[in-house]
Structure 1
């Protein structure tokens, strides 16, 4: 029987033994690689099961469906991001500078970056199981950056006429675009340096003075 959250949605079976938990994490790692390489629609449970050394029924013992396996992979990705950010994020314009460190860290985890790029693009198609996830994620990212920019306004770090929502959307668009360029040509695109240049230029615009 699957576990359920208060909202009634079935959750993945976690298993009680250490061996079961280790097998579940192994399946998640393999599924993450498969979704990143082939996308959700083209990745097959048969391939994931074969690489994990179990049957498809074995995969479905831990995850009730392919869609639930996908949402579990995305949840694992979010846990990694939360651990990286820590309990307290930098405030005001310091948060924008912190984003450069985030990009630098992303260059060391190509698989997760590819997973995000592939699935976020795929999610715009009708009926994609990750569409709601990415819609909420982008809304959350815009709100997070906009909040930091609003803090900067209150601290007197930026111009008082700043449109924080517009600036947040532009910054996220640049960072996502750089990820795709980097994935296609990692030896030609320095994602960290390019992000730093964009944020430096943005800071100069926000503050009205060279940074």
Structure 2
């Protein structure tokens, strides 16, 4: 397939330029709010010119989060498929509080079905939950030297789904606490919780 040409290619390139500028603005913002004007000034456009490429501010912010996740996959691996990549991403998030705050803010707003990010968040959580549950079922319930047997099987998918939900809930909730108390080590806390939950499932299955 040949590369896109004409107006579409120009629009696509401009959208990428805007998203790159937005990611940089939020990454550098710290606790300071980022406005559409901040983003527009980085690409030499007006506020209206920036929003023209996305429709409205909410759609722009949803696209920023999608771009942020794509960049994280490139840098650290796909958290939807590799829980260890998820921990690396959580650790890296500590250097970009502006992007963490954006995620927390948009995630809350996206609970409304008409929000531009609603479908993205719904699919994201479903995919990560499924991936985490599969990981728990296949690998995490097998301490060194122990393999599932007929009398000591691996945790059921129901148990694994529960672990996945709790880990995701803790990750997002911990991000909010970290914004208020930056000394919290998010990645270490989530890794410790994961180990405790998995150990509990192994003990339960062994009864």
Tell me the TM-score normalized by structure 1. Answer: 0.68
Equivalent in 57, 62, 79 of residue 71 of structure 1: 62
In 2, the alpha carbon distance for the partners of 1:87 and 1:165 equals 16
In 2, the alpha carbon distance for the partners of 1:98 and 1:206 equals 22
Q: Is the 8 A contact 1:32 1:73 kept in 2?
A: no
Unaligned runs of 5+ in 2: 1-5
Q: Is the 8 A contact 1:2 1:12 kept in 2?
A: yes
Within 5 Å, which residues of 2 pair with 1:43-192?
45-46=36-37, 48-50=39-41, 52-60=43-51, 62-83=53-74, 84-85=76-77, 95=83, 99-125=86-112, 127-152=114-139, 156=148, 159-161=154-156, 163-187=159-183, 189-192=184-187
Which secondary structure does the structure 2 equivalent of 1:124 belong to?
coil
Q: Is the 8 A contact 1:150 1:164 kept in 2?
A: yes
Unaligned runs of 5+ in 1: 4-10
Aligned-residue RMSD, C-alpha: 3.7
In 2, the alpha carbon distance for the partners of 1:122 and 1:64 equals 17
Summarize the Cα distance change of 1:12–1:183 in structure 2 as closer, same or farther, 3 Å threshold: farther
Tell me the TM-score normalized by structure 2. Answer: 0.69
Aligned to 2:201: 206
Equivalent in 12, 15, 24 of residue 14 of structure 1: 12
User: 1:119, CA displacement in angstroms?
Assistant: 0.9
Summarize the Cα distance change of 1:179–1:87 in structure 2 as closer, same or farther, 3 Å threshold: closer
Count how many residue pairs are aligned between Structure 1 and Structure 2. Answer: 187
